[in-house]
């Protein structure tokens, strides 16, 4: 799996992504049951509210070989401060459209 993670720009000040890296390393959370090696090819943020720049981020991640794009848990679940992204649905639709059918989209990481 060539994985790219997109996180919430607003949450970066609260979280350096440690739980994402642990989930990849230990194959827990959304990565439980993944048998192939997981290669992290990018870890970027959404580009800031209201999330429109995520399209540009996805483009760059795809150029670099991502076959799976995960939204970090901060976006849809609101970790670690209990504040989910109000634009998560629209952002997911943009990512799906940009990535196309061959790319797997994951809604959270851990």
Comparing CB distances to ligand SF4, the nearer of 34 and 93 is 93
Comparing CB distances to ligand SF4, the nearer of 34 and 49 is 49
Q: What's the min distance (Å) between Cβ of 102 and ligand SF4?
A: 24
Comparing CB distances to ligand SF4, the nearer of 11 and 33 is 11
Among 27, 28, 50, 56, binds ligand SF4 (CB under 6 A): 50
Closest Cα to residue 20, out of 80, 88, 60, 64?
A: 80
Q: How many residues bind ligand SF4 (CB under 6 A)?
A: 11
Q: What share of the chain is helix, strand, coil (3-state, %, to 5)?
A: 35, 20, 45
Q: How far apart are alpha carbons 59 and 63 in whole angstroms?
A: 6
């Amino acid at each position: 799996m060539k994985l790219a993670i997109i996180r919430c720009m607003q949450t970066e000040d609260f979280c350096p992504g440690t739980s994402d890296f642990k989930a990849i390393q230990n194959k827990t959370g959304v990565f439980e049951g993944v048998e192939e090696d997981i290669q992290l090819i990018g870890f970027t943020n959404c580009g800031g509210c209201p999330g429109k720049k995520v399209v540009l981020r996805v483009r760059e991640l795809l150029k670099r070989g991502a076959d799976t794009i995960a939204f970090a848990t901060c976006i849809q679940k609101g970790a670690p401060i209990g504040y989910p992204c109000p634009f998560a649905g629209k952002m997911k639709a943009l990512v799906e459209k940009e990535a196309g059918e061959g790319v797997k989209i994951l809604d959270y990481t851990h």
